[in-house]
Amino acid sequence: MGVYHAGSRAVQDRVGVREQADHVGRSVGRGIREVAAAFLELQPLLVAGAADPSTGRVWASPLTGAPGFVRATGTQRISVTGGWSPADPLATAFATPGTPVGTIALDARTRRRMRLNGRLGPTARGFAIDADQVFSNCPKYLQRRTSYEVVADRHRGAARHGAELTPGQAEFVSAADTFFLASVREGGADVSHRGGNPGFVRVDAPGELSWRDYPGNSMFLTLGNLAADPRAGLLFLDWTTGTALQLTGEASTEFGEDRRVRFTVRETVETPSALPLRWSAPEYSPANPDPAH
């Protein structure tokens, strides 16, 4: 599978960055280098994105564990040991051989991130992913959190399902400085990071969100996927309490002076204390634009 498909090419051409995209695309490969393998083994959090094979809806899910729960087991394979709840919207996908899945490991301490996309195979203790695409991203729009602790007595609460945002969830989203965006393409899936100062995500209605698409690496993998298939999943995390808010729906891009992505909510899942991690307060990225503009 090549780095770009027709959806990504269409967006690159519309924005006029095909040449830059070709240059950046050379960094995408299938191999996991030693430095990338070492990076993975230090992470307590991995975000995975896929389509639920039973409903077709796309979700982004947080997976957690002691460092080492994600590790490279070859030059083109990683293994994930546990890390999710049986009630997670992607639990069926994680148990289905051949599921296309995207992952992102984000280290807020060092403002580094790594993405690995491929196909999943269940294992006795979790699942493995055979990589199709492996690459790193620049630290742009990534907030720095210098440390985290594991809250041993934190217990996952019961998931709350809905069809649109509650007032409390709308407030949570409006205050977010980070979220994760899962998208799919023919035979593949991807998860990207979006960051900005609080307020960069706008709640336009209980069933609709929008955010400005800040300039990035010119690859347009996510927007390209959405151009071909609007299904998407969003994940918002409370970096203090461990609450996870997962949304699934459809997204589309408005091209204008400021590119804006609009997301229509179809289903929500809020899980209190979903993650046992409590992170330090953020240092906002100096690249973050003023959300008022």
Per-residue pLDDT of the chain (293 residues; tens, 9 = 90+): 578 777 778 776 777 777 776 776 676 778 899 999 999 999 999 999 999 999 999 999 999 999 999 999 999 999 999 889 999 999 999 999 999 999 999 999 999 999 999 999 999 999 999 999 988 877 889 999 999 999 999 999 999 999 999 999 999 999 999 999 999 998 899 999 999 999 999 999 999 999 998 877 767 778 888 989 999 999 999 999 999 999 999 999 998 888 899 999 999 999 999 999 999 999 999 999 987 76
d(CA 240, CA 145): 11
Predicted confidence at residue 25, as pLDDT, reads 63
Q: Which letter does DSSP use for residue 224 in this model?
A: H
Amino acid sitting at position 236 = F
Q: Could you give the dihedral angle defined by the CA atoms of residues 9, 194, 171 and 204, in that order, rounded to the nearest 10 degrees?
A: -20
Give the per-residue pLDDT at 291: 79
Token pair in block for residue 51: 């389509």
| Whole-number pLDDT of residue 19 | 79
Structure tokens at 158: 């019961």
The pTM of the full predicted model, rounded to 2 decimals, is 0.95
Closest CA relative to residue 181, chosen from 161, 200, 158: 200
CB 115 within 8 A of CB 129: no
Q: Which amino acid is at 138?
A: C
The residue with tokens 């280290």 is 107
Q: Is the dihedral of CA 288, 116, 202, 224 positive or negative?
A: positive
State both tokens at 68. 């080492």
Q: Are 209 and 203 in contact (CB under 8 A)?
A: yes
Query: Is 6-279 a CATH 2.30.110.10 domain?
Result: yes
